[in-house]
Amino acid sequence: MIAIKTEQLTYTYSQGTPFEKTAVDHIDLEIEQGEFVGVIGHTGSGKSTLIQHFNGLLKPSFGRVLINGTDLWAPDTNIRDYRFKVGLVFQYPEYQLFEETVFKDIAFGPTNMGMNPEQIKESVYQACHFVGLKEKYLEKSPFELSGGQKRRVAIAGVLAMNPDILILDEPTAGLDPKGRERILGQIKEYHRARHTTVLLVSHSMEDIAKYARKVLVINQSKVAMYDDVAKVFSRAQEITEMGLSVPQITRVFMQLRERGFDVNESVYTMDYAKQEILRLLAEKGV
């Protein structure tokens, strides 16, 4: 089943003015239900504009957006319902915390969905479990927490709505490496447990390579690539020419290839690199 489909999706800012700019240009895209997609593109490529169409924050200038087969902007579509089905976590989501307790902040979405108190409580506790937030924090003010804890509260607030599709725009920005790995690991576990469709926007190629199954590359307002992680990073030269980086380990293996070593230059994780080096050593009888 197709979770997200766009047909000739186009969005133009400041249309009809001297400042007119097309941020998304005739994009045709299909993302299968249950996929974990990494979204990459340089600043200004259109990736953030694109993902804001998936829960109706932006209305297309031209074309259509279909979520689970439903046109978001069809006259008979209740777009409010789809804003609960498609959870969007913005960059630095902790800036959106506002309630007096952590529990109330996480419960805000489920309450607006019309859940009863028992359902709300269950959703809040399940969301806390997925983001690794201890129950002892629920009655605290969110503003008493550390930066990483606030980030988990904000993400839990989206997870508590049990969305069909989870979109995260740079969810680990500003966190230290340990905090980043903890949050991304928890998102991966949520994906594995719920089979939710996940889109992760990130500038870290290492994170995309480690956690995603597919990669969507946006360049100059269009889809440049959409394929399995290995196939996308095998086109490392093209990605570099777009002004993007590739995982550091991929660059190492590209250089090994240039120096005459018979290695696969599309290596993109440390585990893959280890297997490739052991294969090469075995072939040489080492």
pLDDT digits (tens, 9 = 90+) for 222-267: 999 999 998 998 888 899 889 888 888 888 888 888 888 888 877 8
Angle between helices 177-194 and 117-131 (to 10 degrees): 130
The DSSP secondary structure of 80-111, one letter per residue, reads: HHHHHHEEEE-SSGGGG--SSSHHHHHHHHHH
pLDDT digits (tens, 9 = 90+) for 167-194: 999 888 888 888 888 889 999 999 999 9
87, pLDDT greater than 70: yes
**Is residue 114 classed exposed, middle or buried when 0-12, 13-18 and 19+ CB atoms within 10 A define those classes?**
exposed
CATH number of 2-229: 3.40.50.300
Q: Give me the residue label for tokens 């506002």.
A: 98
**pTM, rounded to two decimals:** 0.90
**pLDDT digits over 151-171, tens only?**
999 999 999 999 999 999 988
Mean of the per-residue pLDDT values of the chain:
92
Strand partners for 168 = 89, 200
Instruction: List, for residues 271-286, the tens digit of each pLDDT value.
Output: 888 888 898 888 877 6
Span 201-218, pLDDT tens digits: 998 888 999 999 999 999
User: What number is the average pLDDT over the span 106-128?
Assistant: 95
pLDDT of residue 286: 67
H-assigned helices in the chain: 47-52, 79-85, 102-112, 117-131, 147-159, 177-194, 205-211, 229-233, 236-241, 248-258, 270-283
Task: Give domain limits for the chain.
Answer: 2-229, 247-286
Q: Taking every pair of C-alpha atoms in the chain, what is the biggest distance, in angstroms?
A: 68
Q: What is the pLDDT of residue 51?
A: 96
59/52 Cα distance (integer angstroms): 9
Summarize the confidence of residues 120-149 as an average pLDDT: 92
